Amino acid sequence: MQCLNEGDALYFSHGFSIVYKDQTGVIPPENIDVILVAPKGSGLNVRRNFLSGAGINSSFAVAQDFTGRARERTIALGIAVGSGYLFPTTFKNEVYSDLTGERGVLMGGIAGMMEAQYEVLRKHGHSPSEAFNETVEEFTQSLIRLVDENGMDWMYANCSTTAQRGALDWKPKFKKAVMPVFKDLYKRVKSGAETRRVIKTCGRADYKKLLGKELDAMGNSEMWRAGAACRSLRPKDKGKGIRRSTKGVAGRGAN
């Protein structure tokens, strides 16, 4: 902190360091602004959306307003990084929701569900191609795009009747099954247990090597090797309507 001058702004893109300062040791001086703009996406997509002019949604917060201009500085930074829109939060809410989200629905949860469904299909005799397409390809290439356009209800309204009925009937069962996991997850995030895990593991001298092994195991699994093959077979010219399917948007059956 010796390089900071009075009235400077210390900018964060994540609440991690400040909220868990007892673990990180990051304690800003009192004579500066401490602000946050947290883009809701990976660095890769923040850059892609910036270059395309689409922007990416970001949350913003002020932890310390020494100058009286901290909010204005924060919003200016949000505009500078190309935010699609900005919504207010706090440092605590940002890091609690972000750590929960990336471990849950956004990354850990969806990957775990995909693996489980793929393995069940394979054990019942479905080919790698069929298991992957029904588990991942249809989700990423069709359904999530409909959700993005107008929401989950709109996607449900525009899929096959078999998929529609099945989704509505099974959604409560999945919610009931995973609710205890999410409660435990949020508790661990709020208590700092997840932070301690990150700092301890990522701080190891051999972490990059260990991470490489974990990612290789995922990438070389049958499911994601099937995925690589599937991606290689996608038609290159998507704009001319050459992709054809006899299926409904979300599954076999009447439309």
Are 18 and 26 spatial neighbours (Cβ–Cβ below 8 Å)? yes
Are 241 and 148 spatial neighbours (Cβ–Cβ below 8 Å)? no
Q: Is position 124 annotated as part of the catalytic site?
A: no
Catalytic residue, chosen from 14, 47, 71, 92, is: 14
Element (H, E) at 153: helix 152-157
Identify the residue whose tokens are 């998507």.
Answer: 238
Q: Which residues contact 230 (CB under 8 A, 6 or more apart)?
A: 129, 132, 133, 137
Q: Which residues contact 68 (CB under 8 A, 6 or more apart)?
A: none
DSSP category for residue 220: T
Tokens (6 digits) for 206: 């051999």
Beta strands in 32-157 (DSSP E): 33-39, 56-64, 83-88
Q: Which pairing describes strands 83-88 and 56-64: parallel, antiparallel, or unpaired?
A: parallel
Are 87 and 60 spatial neighbours (Cβ–Cβ below 8 Å)? yes
Element (H, E) at 161: helix 161-191
Residues marked as catalytic: 14
